[in-house]
Chain A
């Protein structure tokens, strides 16, 4: 029997032949940490003084969760991280304003096909978009990795998802992944790696990113796309030469614990209703529901293509008077594109509040916090109770198109109703 993508990548790491269920030692290409770098390094102050960082090339530190700092405590947190970066000569540091860590990792060419990246953030699984095996870990493990440069991973079993057809007008990769999560459930891929097969070439890197990003919402350990010409072109545009990576993909006779098939033609605009990501319904079914805030951004849907798609609907329109529209690009680079082609101008004229590139309202730490009884329609990846800072508020998840169409009408709206 052949091997899955995860088995092959982890075999390469183990320097041998590893199969699902085995435990292997891995030395990840990179370790991602963000604003949580300060509490991570605080755990190992004595050890850092004695042994230093195992490899100053390995950590990638991006300040993104509370940027710019919201108060003295978060400002001091950032200050400690900058001091750590300088003291230990950390090579990959991106200060506040560069963007959301996952977007930054991919656009700086730090997650490469066939590689392994671990990060102390659950959405580290995003790099499967570019064929990089990636998964989230906790702060303590990140601390240990800084000291030793290695950890263990159990080689996961895999789930095969084959995509047929193509997405129809008004339907996006966000709708597709919400549809899939609704189908398999929030625990549907626990401890397993998802591989996306089939009509992948129709999906851009931005779309693959949206899907891989939400892999953890079905508890998967990585959500992998193959490396194809779309990937190669993207990486080349981001100064990564073809000889810098070795893509890995599953053998045709690899073994899977389950196989699923989805026809993209049949997917409709979908919405995840509170307080679970797998509580998915067609947008049309929720149409007419009042909303108070719309949020366009996050590592799931804050790329230029997402902002532009929303702006096409909002062009010449004004956000309904009962709704606040908040926009935050996934990175400065994505923001630049949106400024240069007039996307930001359209969103601003429509009444949006434009925030700096960062995680912003998604985790409820600052910016765009909700009040009790309020309802937010968001392009983010989680709608857990309390997620946006208030346990008595409701979060609905949808695509940039659904958010834009709904912002215009002040109520949940199927974007196909608005698209000309």
Chain B
């Protein structure tokens, strides 16, 4: 498992350049351009189960959802950040991607530390230190548990019938 480490204010143009926004929408189209202008090694080297550790305001800028769709598709286990930009956070919930806001965990990380996440318990362990993060409200958790907003919406529509 690799821990990919980035700083503050990583924006959506760095995560997925705007020039591809209207020509790439599927995970297959998105993948080669993921983090292209931030970390040219990422798209080739990322593996399922990897974790991203970032600073404040991760995912700021555009509302484009290709970064979230792409990161989910390559199997990123979770993004742990000091904070997330609002639209990115919502997009993450809507794709069922695990986003953990835990500044102490990010600050505790040192090169080579393992990072484990227990979503049920609301805990992230960095090296041998464990930090807790607050649970999501039930209503939002239901979206993640359904596998994202579209599967959730399909459930709702069926129930309304």
Find residues 175-206 in chain A having any chain B CB closer than 8 Å to their own CB. Answer: 186-187, 190-191
A122 and B87 contact, CB distance less than 8 A: yes
B56 and A187 contact, CB distance less than 8 A: yes
Interface residue? A333 (CB, 8 A): no
Interface residue? A219 (CB, 8 A): yes
B18 and A148 contact, CB distance less than 8 A: no
The stretch among A7-15, A38-46, A104-112, A408-416 that forms the contact with chain B is A38-46
Find residues 96-117 in chain B having any chain A CB closer than 8 Å to their own CB. Answer: none
Known: A121-B63, A385-B13, A391-B37. A23 touches B137 (CB 8 A): yes
The stretch among B20-28, B43-51, B121-129 that forms the contact with chain A is B20-28
Q: Find the B residue at minimum CB distance from A78.
A: B22
Number of B residues whose C-beta is below 8 Å from A?
43
Known: A144-B149, A148-B157, A152-B139. A136 touches B25 (CB 8 A): no
Q: With the chains together, A310 CA to B65 CA distance in Å?
A: 35
Chain A residues within an 8 Å CB radius of B87: 122, 135-138, 216
Mask: chain B, 1-41; 1 = CB below 8 Å from A; 0 = not: 00000001101111001110111010000000000110000
A386 and B150 contact, CB distance less than 8 A: no
Q: Find the B residue at minimum CB distance from A390.
A: B19
Find residues 67-96 in chain B having any chain A CB closer than 8 Å to their own CB. Answer: 68, 83, 85-87, 90-91, 94-95
The secondary structure that dominates the A interface is loop
A365 and B61 contact, CB distance less than 8 A: no
Interface residue? B54 (CB, 8 A): no
Interface size classification for chain A: 35 or more
Interface residue? B53 (CB, 8 A): no
Q: With the chains together, A376 CA to B76 CA distance in Å?
A: 36
A384 and B13 contact, CB distance less than 8 A: yes
Q: Find the A residue at minimum CB distance from B154.
A: A47
Interface centre among A35, A66, A152, A187 (most CB of B within 10 A): A187
Find residues 397-416 in chain A having any chain B CB closer than 8 Å to their own CB. Answer: none
Binding site for A on B (CB under 8 A): 8-9, 11-14, 17-19, 21-23, 25, 36-37, 56-57, 60-65, 68, 83, 85-87, 90-91, 94-95, 137, 139-140, 148-150, 152-154, 156-157
Per CB-CB distance, the 3 closest pairs between chain A and chain B, nearest first, are A187-B57, A138-B91, A384-B13
